[in-house]
Amino acid sequence: MDDYKEKILKVCNDIRKGTLMETLDIEYIDVGQNFLIAKMPVTPKVYQPDGVLHGGASVALAESVGSAASYVFLDGQSFFVRGIEIAANHVRSVKEGYVFARATIIHKGRTTQLWEIRITDEEDRLISLCKLTTIALPK
């Protein structure tokens, strides 16, 4: 299983190159049977003007990990995966350290998938709770 995990994480991290995920320093760090986890550093490049994590950066993290999870848990070689709706509730601010996004499948349909993405800080406090709907389109 560890070898399989490493391969999946390598693929996820390799496809970040030249994308928003690389710009935001998002790194995929863990994968399991029904989840994928990524982390993002909270630095001035993801701040809003008053020096806390921008909600848009949190949403970008959530959509990135949810879409990557769809790619991993569906047949990414046969389908294009696209986010079609995302909703986010931001419940706590954070100024430094890392935030972690865990995407867990709620519904895995043939065409659409529903993901819950919990963004937490280094002390596992909830920062944002997001819901992402993805669609799988045949290539």
Q: Which residues pair with 81 in a beta bridge?
A: 136
Residue positions annotated with a catalytic role: 63
Distance CA 21, CA 49 (A): 21
Distance CA 133, CA 4 (A): 26
Count Cα atoms within 13 angstroms, Cβ side, for 70. Answer: 30
Which of 120, 111, 39, 119 is closest to 133 using CA atoms?
A: 111
Query: Are 73 and 95 in contact, with CB atoms under 8 Å apart?
Result: no
